[in-house]
A = this chain, B = another copy of it.
Amino acid sequence: MNKSQNIYDNQDFFDGYKKLRDNQYSANNLEEKPALFSLAPDLQGKAVLDLGCGYGENCAEFKALGATTVLGVDISEKMLAVATAEHSDIEFIRADMSDLSFLKRKFDVVFSSLALHYIENFGLFVKDVYSLLNDGGYFIFSQEHPLTTAPIAGASWSKDADDNVLHYNLTDYARGGKRSTRWIVDGVEKYHRTFSEIINALVTAGFTIEKMIEPIPTKETIERDKSWEKYLHKPNFLLIKAMKKME
């Protein structure tokens, strides 16, 4: 009973996504991954859960950083086939992360990289994550930036006649809810949430906000490719580190 869309098992999407992830200059590799790992606590001896683990690359790094156990969960069979083949020392479970009730153990750190914008009921999801954490544990996630997910017609930029970016065309920021966009293929379903909706859901679940990052391209990245400068107008990602308070 999948509540979330499983776009990653669409062959065209899967092929396009694989190519994108292999690009060392992707926003994922240049911005999101360094920010995510900068938020990680010392993982030595820790039990780690990775929600929306995809190929399991992050899982392998959590293990390399000292985690005792790493469990990767993903909705996509194709993704997990790659993950299992490449990382035999890590446990993977295929499941829709919008219902985590099948998990009967607790974790010290729950990571989720660029998967939360697929979750419809964020408040419920965050409560599930909270109950899966040991006291003092962390929930660390990245998602598309709320300014990216906001426009109902899809993210777009205004440019001048010479193709220079003038501004980001911001619409619908305060209209939370489903977005159907084209990303690699048509009809990818995502959910837009404002900053306040995200923060309030975490606080309501019991989390303490520890840190927030909206990564920007480095000087080197902009020098290599001037088109990256536009992300100083509108960042690509939002990352949050939240803690389950000691009782």
Contact = CB atoms under 8 A, between A and B. Distances in A.
Interface in A167-209: 167-175, 194-196, 199-200, 203, 208-209
A166 interface: yes
Contacts of A233: 170-174
A210 interface: yes
A99 interface: no
A199 B170 contact: no
Contact of A174 (B151, B175, B235): B235
A184 B191 CA distance: 38
A3 interface: no
Contacts of A235: 173-174
Interface of A is mostly: mixed
A200 B38 CA distance: 15
Given A196-B213, A200-B212, A210-B203, A168 B171 contact: yes
A214 interface: yes
A152 B208 CA distance: 33
Contacts of A170: 147, 167-170, 233-234
A103 interface: no
